[in-house]
């Protein structure tokens, strides 16, 4: 039987929501091993002069706990 833990992370990108998800995964993987999934809980974008300036996500990262 394996135990799965979940952490919540916030990440952003100036390019896209997809890039924000990749940034979240990249940063989480620096301190967490055995990542199994990422669930995007919320998405939002900051706007300036009628243009999107930043894409941001709030996500849950699931990982197996090593024994």
Per-residue confidence of the chain (67 residues) as pLDDT tens digits?
A: 789 999 999 999 999 999 999 999 999 999 999 999 999 999 999 999 999 999 999 999 999 997 6
**CATH number of this structure's domain 4-64, picked from the four choices 3.90.1510.10, 3.90.180.10, 3.30.1660.10, 3.40.50.11900:** 3.30.1660.10
Its pTM stands at 0.88
Domain positions in the chain are 4-64
Residue 66, SS3 per DSSP: coil
Q: Which residues pair with 5 in a beta bridge?
A: 63
pLDDT of residue 67: 62
pLDDT of residue 14: 97
pLDDT of residue 27: 95
pLDDT of residue 1: 73
User: CA-CA distance, 32 to 67, in Å (whole number)?
Assistant: 14
Query: Which value, in Å, is the radius of gyration of the alpha carbons in the chain?
Result: 14
């Amino acid at each position: 039987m394996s135990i799965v833990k979940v952490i919540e992370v916030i990440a952003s990108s100036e390019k896209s929501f997809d890039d924000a998800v990749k940034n979240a995964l990249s940063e989480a993987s620096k301190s967490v091993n055995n990542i199994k999934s990422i669930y995007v809980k919320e998405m939002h974008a900051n706007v300036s002069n009628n243009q999107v300036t930043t894409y941001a996500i709030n996500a849950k990262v699931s990982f197996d706990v090593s024994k």
